[in-house]
Amino acid sequence: MSSQYLPLVLALAIGLLYYLMSFLHKLVHRLQPMKISEIYVYPIKSLRGVQLSEALATRHGFEYDRTFMLLQVTPEGHKNMAVSGYPAMTQFLTDIETDGDSNGTITVDFIAFGDVDQAKTLKVPLRPDTEKLEPFQVNMHYSPTQAFKMPAKYSEWFSSCFGYEVVFVYLGDNKRDVLFEDMKPDRTRRSLPPLLSSVPFLNLPEREAEKITFTDCAPFLIVSKTSLADVSARLPEGEEMDITKFRANIVIEGAPVAWAEDYWAKIKVKDAEIIMQHNCIRCKSINIDYSTGKPGVGESGDVLKKLQKDRRIDDGAKWSPVFGRYSFWSPKTPPRTLRVGDEVNVVRLNTGTTSWTWKGLQ
């Protein structure tokens, strides 16, 4: 064979090998279907979540997920509160109660760091009437929105638990913009070469902008139980990593290998399509001891560092380890109720790991 054809032959061989590996990867997933093992909804951002057997999934996330949040009152104004900077938020348990056609309530139990005498309970309307509420501006991760300040009695209750002044707000029907660069509405139009963008049948309409609640970056966060086992294996014998520290919405059981989800681009839960667009980059919140509401001690308080050794796989966030995938409800799939036990199949894989594109946020 002439040496001039050798590069072409090698390229074809590499391409064929990649195709076969991709085919086999998909085949493994189809032969071994996975399932939803846990569903979580977090009605108040950064407080403990509610584990459910089923939940209504929509374009903007699970119903009731992160529609309330807390902000600390500071001399400069207000500061968004999250577990990484406010570990005491782990001391608030939540539950959702619905009663037929009524609006329902959120029950918040403050467990007071194990002090039973200081424990107390608050009831919050699940869908407050916003007509009489004062507008309140919230800016999360450079994506602002208008919210509503809840009546003073709610903020005062939370303030008494934390020991400093906080404000309790409700999102209402408002939403925040998703700011991933590769998901902006004009991305499809901008991706066409200038000469082709003027061709009528190629000049595609702009994609509808994705919107979210008080979730950080995407409507859904999906994690793998197989990958969780890999994290637990890094802890001393007998210790297991608490899945709730990763604050996922959907936990999937049955992935053939740990970290397979790094390459998932789209999954199907029955006939519902979920697009897995970005990695979830992690912070020190996974080191918090939920039983004490303080930074963890020992090896369980050093999980972030353990993951940094081999899980910094995102070129867009080079210093942060990855666990889980930020995901979006397919625009062509109407709202569906997802249930624990629903079968999950991978229907599309990425050729490599995805890259973080939310500018200024890591």
Q: Give the pLDDT of the chain (362 residues) as one tens digit per residue.
A: 556 656 565 656 655 655 555 555 555 555 568 999 999 999 999 999 999 999 999 999 999 999 999 999 999 999 999 999 999 999 999 999 987 656 799 999 999 998 988 999 999 999 999 999 999 999 999 999 999 999 999 999 999 999 999 999 999 999 999 999 999 876 544 455 554 445 554 444 556 899 999 999 999 999 999 999 999 999 999 999 999 999 999 999 999 999 999 999 999 998 999 999 999 999 999 999 999 999 999 999 999 999 999 999 999 999 999 999 999 999 999 999 999 999 999 999 999 999 999 998 87
Nearest-5° Cα angle at 197, 193 to 201: 130
The pair of three-digit structure tokens given for residue 278, joined into one six-digit string: 């970005």
**DSSP SS3 for 70:** strand
Domain for residue 6, yes or no? no
Specify the pLDDT at position 14. Answer: 58
Cβ burial, residue 31 (10 Å; 0-12/13-18/19+): exposed
Same domain as 128, residue 208: no
Same domain as 156, residue 210: no
Specify the pLDDT at position 204. Answer: 47
Specify the pLDDT at position 184. Answer: 84
Cβ burial, residue 319 (10 Å; 0-12/13-18/19+): exposed
Number of domains in the chain: 2
Specify the pLDDT at position 345. Answer: 96
Specify the pLDDT at position 260. Answer: 97
Same domain as 265, residue 145: no
Specify the pLDDT at position 250. Answer: 98
Same domain as 341, residue 262: yes
The pair of three-digit structure tokens given for residue 351, joined into one six-digit string: 């050729």
Same domain as 326, residue 229: yes
Specify the pLDDT at position 48. Answer: 98
DSSP 164-209: S-EEEEE-TT--EE--BGGGSTTHHHHTS-HHHHTSGGG-PPPPPP
Task: Identify the domain boundary among 140, 174, 208.
Answer: 174
Specify the pLDDT at position 25. Answer: 54
Query: What domain range is 310 assigned to?
Result: 25-40+178-349
Query: What CATH number does the domain containing 329 carry?
Result: 2.40.33
The torsion angles phi and psi of 333, rounded to 5 degrees, stand at -105, 120
CA 242, 245, 246, 250 torsion: positive or negative? positive
**DSSP SS3 for 14:** helix
Which of 124, 166, 130, 175 lies closest to 148 in space, CA to CA?
A: 130
